[in-house]
Structure 1
Amino acid sequence: MSSNTHKALLQSKKVVSTRAQHLLTPVAMSVILGSQALYSGVAMAETAAYTANAIVITAPELDEPSRTSVNLSETAAVESATDGAAVLKQIPGFSSVGNGGVNGDPTFRGMFGSRLIILTDGAQMLGACPNRMDNPTSYINPTAYDTVEIVKGPQTVLWGPGNSAATVRFERKEEDFSEKSSRFEASAMVGSNNRFDRSLEGAVGNSKGYVRVEANKAESDDYEDGNGDEVASSWEKWNTNVALGITPDEDTLLELELGRGDGFAEYAGRSMDGTQFLRETAALRFEKKNMSQNWSKIEAQLNYGYADHIMDNSTFRDGSMSMQVDRRTTSGRVASTFDWDTKSLVAGLDAKQELHRSESVEDYSQEQVGVFSELTLFMENDDRVVSGLRLDHISATDETTTNTTAGDTRADTLVSGFSRFERDLTSMPATSYIGLGYTERFPDYWEMKPGLNTIDSGDAFSDINPEKTLQLDAGLNYKRDNLSWWVSGYVGLVKDYIIFGYEASTVMGTTTMKGKSGNIDAHIAGAETGARYLVTPNWSTNASLAYAWGKDLDSDAPLPQISPLEAKLGLTHENEDWTTSAVLRMVAAQNRIAEDMGNAVGYDFGESAGFTMMDINTEYRYTENVKFRAGIDNLTDKAYAEHLNKAGNSGFGYASDEAFNQAGRIIWAGVNVNF
């Protein structure tokens, strides 16, 4: 395809149906004005009896007190989410490095990149862009998944190495055709800036197997900020998936799933835009339960992911730069669960191989093989001790022919483990836990890619050390009658923390900040807490608070790219047909910065101001099978910028130390039909 044809095609895609925009105002306002309440936010509860359609951060179950779970299919507040990062931002402790209108890069407790393991149905989809323009969550369509589960800190070893910040799993529920032979769901949403989403999903099956098909497409034009200024941020995404499942008996599942998607995105915070995000995936999953008296389950899967990414500054701008990169990732995992009266064991192995290319030429490869086990001991008085250990061998090769490390391979054998004590308190209806975790993380592609220099002028591929995190996590979950609350905190020491230093670089007349990686030692600490109180059977209040802190021990300076203190207050009203909720989000100023220091995507270029904003959403359940949703994001049309925003690109008139603003008021409305 010629560059002119490619440009014309993508520009034509930006023209979204004006019919959708015309429908927006009457539909959205009629639903919102017909609602019966004003207020809610992020609700924290062990069940969702009265807030089934607000964001519900599940207080962890008694046997897994370190896990947070969010029901996506019953959460109106994420209806307008554009990708996985937009969903995670709703959860206390998560933030996102903003690029424009889509594809923010998630952080948790100030930790970024491969410190966060992001999985979809157990598989990891890695992007190809050297600057993470297509990070893993950019390929996640939230409407395709039912739940997202988070294990904070290095408190599990089951899902891969290096999860010093958290393990995040987007999951679908199992197909169930015990009562009917088919299901179908269709949804559509329109919104400000010509936002238009549509999705179809259906499955047919019986006790012996099923076929599931889904397709979705979403798009939006550039948004206006709270000052009425247009920000380059248009985007489009589409995805298709098909799955064939075989269930010869109620204990056995064999599933093959194939997927494909693509899109484009304009980036106010980058020197180039993403004009192709081609995704191709395949997964073969097997699960067998009740193998024997004590062998409860065996599960295995093979995964394939391919990202083919094109970026340029000529499709939507008047530049001449272009680059195509791709990455193939193949992985596998097998695990068995064994249960006895007083203990439970999960043990297995996993492996991953990835190959990165630039302009169809191989430049980087990596291989990983790991073994893991997690043991739960059930003691007297319902106390539990959960411990895990994993061992990984990881190697990386510089596949280039011109770098100083061309053809070199480096390898490490890394250890991770944790031990956690859990207790159900008898003095009050609460569960407490305290756990000590240790993980060694191999530098990822973005931190050691061939040709990247270190801060002290070394070669990143050969000189960057693995990161070693020792962290103490503790928490308490309480629920009695109409009140539930939880708190979780952590303190850690990170040896060889991987950090980036940035300096100005001019390429073809365009000045950008170029990063170099390095190792330091660091202290980290912080906490998240939340509460929910059921005032009446129909009204509930809720609140959350999250704070993260980090210190560079080498320079005695703050760690960069740490999100500021953030609080949310809310009120929810629900009756038989309506649920209306809103959240007041209050973000403090961030004065603890390390100028020109950061990570593979962003850096601190200045202190940030605090701000307050409000979102509101409502759902009307017209029938058991039809529901309408609507909302207003940024109700007061606040002009604001997140602290973790990338600096606006000079091509749009931004200074190198000036952040572009987030979107102003966004009105959206949608309908969902299922049967």
Structure 2
Amino acid sequence: MSKVQHCGVLCPQNNTQLMVATSSKIAKLPLALTMIGAALYTCNSFADNDTTGNKKTFSNAIVVTAPSLASPITTSINLNETPALQSASDGASVLTQIPGFSAIGNGGTNGDPTFRGMFGSRLAILTDGAQMLGACPNRMDNPSSYINPAAYDEVSIIKGPETVLWGPGNSAATVLFDRKREDFSEKNSRFEASVMAGTYGRFDRRLEGAVGNEKGYVRLAANESEANDYKDGDSKSVASAWDKWNSSVAFGWTPDKDTWLELELGRGDGEAKYAGRGMDGTKFLHETAALRFEKKNMSEHWSKLEAQFNYAYADHVMDNYTLRPLYSKKAMRKELDRRTQSGRVASTWDWDTLSLITGIDAKQEVHRSGITANSAGNEDYSQQQSGIFSELTWFLDDSQRLVSGLRFDNYHATDESNTTATAGESRNKTLTSGFTRLERDLSHMPATVYIGLGHSERFPDYWEIKPTNSSLSGAANAFAGVQPEKTTQIDVGLNYKIKNLSWWVSAYTGIIKDYIIFDYSNSSITKVDKVGNVDAIIAGAEVGARYQLTPHWSTNASVAYAWGQDTDNNDPLPQIAPLESKLGLTYKRDQWTTNTILRLVAPQNRINEDRGNVVGYDFDQSTGFATLGFNAEYHANQYLTLATGIDNLTNTSYSEHLNKAGSAAFGYAGTEAYNQPGRMIWASLSVKF
């Protein structure tokens, strides 16, 4: 029996798709383009046949487009061809367009993404297979803050604990930002440049070029994004300015069609004002190096060998005087850094009815604090992880697949400080994660269904276990007291289409033993966060639908809901985003695509006051709100694209439930959330050849 392609979501290039702002460093453009419409881009859902005759299922991702997927539990988004993400400044801005995602805000940029109410290392975020971990002990420079969306071609989200291929933990989801391989089989060079300008001083520019042939290539890229403080719907200025830049160079070697070797080096820096924090980020220096290798068709059944080795360094400074007026008499400055080294080797084996991916991975991280101009600082935490994993797909027949995975991870963490109760002590732990999922293409209707059972054991990350945190359990500190988190979850879903109507649903319910939770009830007195474990249950769903009204008009909608309960104390889990819905209308004809989106967010009354995570906590209930946005895209020819839009057209004054309370330095009360941007107008020009 020949293998069939996994059913998933595939979107042809002529469908409307998301486009991240790209930019070249040229003179600022005047905002003279007419604002025409739309912020919602979805892909058509339909069934078709590939060149081998195998049936493929296509599904609607609603807010964003979704290219081909490895399984129906994965959503993939093309980042190159849609204006809906034109104003995205970081990874969180991209992810919040997808049903189920939210972000804990800081100011104008560098939000910390959450999925289904889960946060931090429950949501693994990788760029080209590597993690860029920040240095701030309060995640001021979270992993997504180092991501420039324009530098990547697609992002894939694997929901739930339904894969073991990309590291341990990842109980909420695995997020993969990836860049396409360079292909110079038909040309010797490529060049991309774009610029985007908007209200509140927004100005992005980007250049990327590559030259090569069938044997190898060189790629250079550089980008910068900046903005001033924005104004909310009440015309109140919100501390939110930023200026960030990134650069990279890559050298590739492709001696034959089955071999690929690439060395990439990157560097960037920036600064950002944070309305929701007592200090701003005045340095986000990051340096990366990656060596990637892939060899296909190793033998009859050994289909692929892949390996990568990564280095990441983050040097972060935060203070309360560089970007804001000194609110108190005491100036504060902290500099910290983190070095992360990681590696992964995996092999893919294929037989008639079986496909096996197996491999090993490892990561080492060292964190330092107390860095000054005259001192290199001191190590205060280190961690080593090594794992072995295997994922098997069994093609039961032409319509059914059984996918199972298992991984074992060993951790060794050390309190490297010399001032805490656990100074010099180490923790060692071996954890197990795995899943089994059944996927079936229904014969009596054009639909795919799946059900999966996954279990993830997650070692506390640095932010949760850092020795300066107190323990809720009565242990000496968090390093001694916080236990690994164990999540067991069922995921189910269906992708369906008939005629001009398509819809999909994904739902989950899980039991979390030793859920890691932060308690801020006494933080104003002790200035120390307390961290501990509780047992919890979670549940929720994302639903979407699309209807093709006419050959040129389509409408679409999505709804996402997450729920959690602390079963030890019979309290809601904190930091859960409220019910959210998006309604969209799309028009596409010839070179034009215009869209509109109405975002509806319900109040969140289920809070757990003074409890949360390392970034935020529940301090008040939130009210609901609605926003309307428009954007449009015009493909003048195969080289030139114009895009324009208006975000928050109605100039609504609102704040997100997960945003932090505003800093007193900017005039906010202790429990007053800062507002999101008011009406924002932008326009962009991109060239590609």
Q: What's the TM-score bracket when you normalise by the shorter of the two chains? A: over 0.9
- In structure 2, distance between residues paired with 1:214 and 1:42: 27
**What residue identity is the alignment partner of 1:469?**
T
- 1:456, CA displacement in angstroms? 4.2
- In structure 1, distance between residues paired with 2:556 and 2:517: 36
Paired positions, count: 645
Partner of 1:497: 515
**What residue identity is the alignment partner of 2:458?**
R
- In structure 1, distance between residues paired with 2:497 and 2:59: 16
- In structure 2, distance between residues paired with 1:223 and 1:52: 34
Give CA-to-partner distance per residue, 1:230-261, whole Å, 9 cap, x none.
00000010000000000000000000000000
Of the three residues 185, 189, 204, the one matched with 2:196 is 189
Partner of 2:621: 607
Does residue 348 in structure 1 map to residue 359 in structure 2?
yes
Does residue 595 in structure 1 map to residue 609 in structure 2?
yes
- 1:178, CA displacement in angstroms? 1.2
**What residue identity is the alignment partner of 2:301?**
N
Partner of 1:466: 484
SS of alignment partner, residue 84 of structure 2: helix
Q: Is the 8 A contact 2:95 2:101 kept in 1?
A: yes
- In structure 1, distance between residues paired with 2:146 and 2:529: 25
Give CA-to-partner distance per residue, 1:299-336, whole Å, 9 cap, x none.
00000000000000011221500000000000000000
Distance 1:168 1:369, change over 3 A: same
**What residue identity is the alignment partner of 1:334?**
V
- 1:25, CA displacement in angstroms? 3.5
SS of alignment partner, residue 521 of structure 2: strand
Distance 1:169 1:628, change over 3 A: same
Partner of 2:279: 272
Partner of 1:398: 415
- In structure 2, distance between residues paired with 1:329 and 1:195: 32
Distance 1:19 1:287, change over 3 A: closer
Distance 1:54 1:415, change over 3 A: closer
Distance 1:538 1:513, change over 3 A: farther
- In structure 2, distance between residues paired with 1:460 and 1:53: 40
Q: Is the 8 A contact 1:45 1:59 kept in 2?
A: no
Does residue 332 in structure 1 map to residue 343 in structure 2?
yes
Q: Is the 8 A contact 1:598 1:604 kept in 2?
A: yes
Moved more, 455-464 or 551-560: 455-464
Of the three residues 398, 403, 409, the one matched with 1:386 is 403
- In structure 1, distance between residues paired with 2:413 and 2:276: 30
SS of alignment partner, residue 111 of structure 1: coil
Of the three residues 490, 495, 504, the one matched with 1:477 is 495
Give CA-to-partner distance per residue, 1:401-448, whole Å, 9 cap, x none.
111100000010000000000000011101000000001000000001
Moved more, 543-552 or 495-504: 495-504
Q: Is the 8 A contact 1:42 1:91 kept in 2?
A: no
**What residue identity is the alignment partner of 1:467?**
E
Partner of 1:448: 465
Partner of 2:582: 568
Distance 1:102 1:48, change over 3 A: farther
**What residue identity is the alignment partner of 2:592?**
W
Of the three residues 567, 571, 583, the one matched with 1:557 is 571
The structure in which a higher percent of residues are helix is 1
Partner of 2:31: 25
- In structure 2, distance between residues paired with 1:42 and 1:553: 39
- In structure 2, distance between residues paired with 1:91 and 1:648: 26
- In structure 1, distance between residues paired with 2:498 and 2:510: 32
Within 5 Å, give how 1:209-248 maps onto structure 2: 209-248=216-255
Q: Is the 8 A contact 1:24 1:192 kept in 2?
A: no
Q: Is the 8 A contact 1:186 1:673 kept in 2?
A: yes
**What residue identity is the alignment partner of 2:545?**
A
- In structure 1, distance between residues paired with 2:68 and 2:685: 31
Q: Is the 8 A contact 1:154 1:439 kept in 2?
A: yes
**What residue identity is the alignment partner of 2:612?**
G
Partner of 1:577: 591
Distance 1:541 1:40, change over 3 A: farther
Partner of 1:648: 662
SS of alignment partner, residue 651 of structure 1: helix
Q: Is the 8 A contact 1:59 1:486 kept in 2?
A: no
Distance 1:230 1:48, change over 3 A: farther
- 1:268, CA displacement in angstroms? 0.5
SS of alignment partner, residue 121 of structure 2: helix
- In structure 2, distance between residues paired with 1:231 and 1:626: 35
- 1:641, CA displacement in angstroms? 0.3
Of the three residues 543, 546, 562, the one matched with 1:529 is 543
Partner of 1:87: 94
- 1:480, CA displacement in angstroms? 3.2
- In structure 1, distance between residues paired with 2:343 and 2:151: 22
Of the three residues 627, 630, 635, the one matched with 1:616 is 630
Q: Is the 8 A contact 1:133 1:274 kept in 2?
A: yes
Distance 1:522 1:221, change over 3 A: same
Distance 1:126 1:40, change over 3 A: closer
Q: Is the 8 A contact 1:278 1:309 kept in 2?
A: yes
**What residue identity is the alignment partner of 2:627?**
M
SS of alignment partner, residue 117 of structure 1: strand
Distance 1:47 1:141, change over 3 A: farther
Does residue 134 in structure 1 map to residue 133 in structure 2?
no
SS of alignment partner, residue 85 of structure 1: helix
Moved more, 384-393 or 653-662: 653-662
Q: TM-score, normalised by structure 2?
A: 0.91
- In structure 2, distance between residues paired with 1:647 and 1:333: 40
Unaligned 5+ segments in structure 2 are 1-24, 49-57, 371-376
Partner of 2:64: 56
**What residue identity is the alignment partner of 2:107?**
G
Of the three residues 339, 349, 373, the one matched with 2:390 is 373
Moved more, 196-205 or 379-388: 379-388
Q: Is the 8 A contact 1:88 1:106 kept in 2?
A: yes
- In structure 2, distance between residues paired with 1:328 and 1:653: 37
User: Aligned residues: percent identity?
Assistant: 63
**What residue identity is the alignment partner of 1:110?**
G
**What residue identity is the alignment partner of 2:447?**
A
Q: Is the 8 A contact 2:340 2:366 kept in 1?
A: yes
Within 5 Å, give how 1:626-645 maps onto structure 2: 626-645=640-659
Distance 1:272 1:457, change over 3 A: farther
Give CA-to-partner distance per residue, 1:112-168, whole Å, 9 cap, x none.
000001000000000000000000000000000010000000000000000100000
Q: Is the 8 A contact 1:48 1:56 kept in 2?
A: no
Distance 1:595 1:54, change over 3 A: closer
Give CA-to-partner distance per residue, 1:442-491, whole Å, 9 cap, x none.
00000010121012443100110000000000000112332221100000
- In structure 2, distance between residues paired with 1:298 and 1:483: 41
- In structure 2, distance between residues paired with 1:289 and 1:265: 43
- 1:274, CA displacement in angstroms? 0.3
Unaligned 5+ segments in structure 1 are 1-16
RMSD, aligned α-carbons: 2.0
Partner of 2:441: 424
SS of alignment partner, residue 447 of structure 1: helix
- In structure 2, distance between residues paired with 1:57 and 1:476: 17
**What residue identity is the alignment partner of 1:115?**
R
- In structure 2, distance between residues paired with 1:164 and 1:650: 35
